[in-house]
Chains A and B, each alone.
Chain A
Amino acid sequence: GESVGLHLPTLSVQEGDNSIINCAYSNSASDYFIWYKQESGKGPQFIIDIRSNMDKRQGQRVTVLLNKTVKHLSLQIAATQPGDSAVYFCAELESGGSYIPTFGRGTSLIVHP
């Protein structure tokens, strides 16, 4: 989930497990959502996106679920690998707006071999 303050929430999993990272967004008018992955020393990298006319979208080993009723987004990573260790951010945007995403605070995923 999202954090307040200095400390990121952390999810620790074993290699091969499935991971679920959660995000609560704030703007009910947001209709486009993106998950980013940020590895140490790098900038955020696009993983997967979803528009508000969808509830679920799948990519390679990743699935994003959107629940507009409770303004909740989740990222599921199947068969988590050590290379998945990173900070994951959700971002929300309002189409027809400024194209500037609002980022969540991030969740740190640690994958133990």
Chain B
Amino acid sequence: KAGVTQTPRYLIKTRGQQVTLSCSPISGHRSVSWYQQTPGQGLQFLFEYFSETQRNKGNFPGRFSGRQFSNSRSEMNVSTLELGDSALYLCASSPAGREETQYFGPGTRLLVL
């Protein structure tokens, strides 16, 4: 099976812009989670989607949002970008019944200037 894929892999934006990141989970996985990884804060949970519904949410401002489509693909959006949003954004998918085991994609490296 193909692994989790994320697009784009690298992105440069300026403050105030918005960005949309995409994640395709492993075939058959219905749970998709998003994380932000920075040197200062480590891996922080953003949100988790299951069957097109947001099931869990981390402590991030409303500028961070996401959605999941019927084919389990997911997108996350960050509006009004700030310099501090520069990070590696990781997507992970999990098989049904084994949601605690997450398979990560390679991430999208976002740089906000």
Name A's B-contacting residues (CB within 8 A): 5-6, 32, 34, 36, 41-46, 49, 89, 93, 95, 98-101, 103-106
Binds A, one of B14-22, B41-49, B63-71, B78-86: B41-49
> Judging by beta carbons under 8 Å apart, are A44 and B90 in contact?
yes
Q: Are B101 and A43 in contact, with the CB atoms below 8 A?
A: no
Is A43 touching B90 in the complex (CB atoms < 8 A)? yes
Summed over the interface, the residue pairs from A and B with CB atoms below 8 Å come to a total of 51
Contacts of A44 in B (CB 8 A): 43, 90, 104
- Is there contact, CB below 8 Å, between A103 and B43? yes
* Cβ B48 vs Cβ A99 within 8 A: yes
Residues 15-39 of chain B, each 1 if its beta carbon lies under 8 Å from chain A, else 0: 0000000000000000101000001
- Report B's interface with A, CB cutoff 8 A: 4, 31, 33, 39-40, 42-43, 45, 48, 55-56, 58, 90, 92, 94, 99-107
Knowing A6-B40, A99-B94, say if A43 contacts B105 (CB, 8 Å): yes
- Judged by DSSP, the binding face of A is loop
Question: B43, A89: Cβ atoms under 8 Å?
Answer: yes
CA distance A35 to B17 in the complex (A): 36
CB-defined contacts of A95 to chain B, threshold 8 Å: 100
Residues of A within 8 A of B102 (CB): 46, 101
How far is B78's CA from A61's CA once the two chains are assembled, in angstroms?
41
CB<8 Å pairs between A and B, sample of 8? A42-B106, A46-B101, A99-B94, A99-B100, A100-B45, A100-B56, A101-B100, A104-B42
Complex Cα spacing A49 to B92, Å: 17
| Closest beta carbon of chain B to A7's beta carbon, Å | 9
Instruction: Select which of A49, A99, A103 is within 8 A of B42 by beta carbon.
Output: A103
Interface residue from A36, A43, A103 paired with B107 (Cβ < 8 Å): A43
Measured between alpha carbons, how far is A45 from B105 in the docked complex, in Å?
A: 9
The answer to whether B100 and A32 touch across the interface, beta carbons within 8 angstroms, is: yes
